[in-house]
Amino acid sequence: MSYGEDMDRDLNPEIFAELKGDVRELFPALKDVRFTHEWGGPVSVPLDMAPAIGYAGDKNVVYSLGAVGHGVSMTHLNGRTVADLILERKTDLTDVFFVNRRMIPWPPEPMRYLAGKAILGYMHWEDRQYDAQKGGA
């Protein structure tokens, strides 16, 4: 997790190695696969961890934030919602709470860093709880 404007920490070889290990653990058939790319960087995480999609000012700019913890499925849904907004369609996707909602702003440093660490710590705790339940089942 970066502090302030220091984004260099988002390109972390140790994290990349852990992620490759996770892929091999989840998909044993890929144990010998050679990874050709890796990337990192800041993520678009609203403070309340809920998606936020809408217009930035006028209808010429649409944004999508917050696919946190839901990866491909959420980005796919966000993309469909963005497409409907761009095409000015009124659909079930454009009529949900996270479209054009007001977000809680992230606080300034050092509170932003502390909030991020607290959220990350909670997410790690949740992972441990899930792993413990999975192992005990």
Task: In whole angstroms, give the CA distance from residue 22 to residue 95.
Answer: 37
pLDDT per position as a tens digit, 12-68: 888 899 999 999 999 999 999 999 998 877 777 788 888 899 999 888 999 998 877
Query: Would you state the pLDDT for residue 69?
Result: 65
Task: In whole angstroms, give the CA distance from residue 39 to residue 98.
Answer: 28
Query: Would you state the pLDDT for residue 15?
Result: 85
Task: Give the three-state DSSP class for 53.
Answer: strand
Phi, psi angles (nearest 5°) of residue 123: -65, -40
Domain boundaries, the chain: 1-42, 43-104, 106-137
Phi, psi angles (nearest 5°) of residue 111: -65, -35
Which residue has better confidence, 126 or 41?
Answer: 126
Q: Are 79 and 109 in contact (CB under 8 A)?
A: no
Residue 73 scores a pLDDT above 80: no
Query: Would you state the pLDDT for residue 71?
Result: 65
Residue 116 scores a pLDDT above 90: no
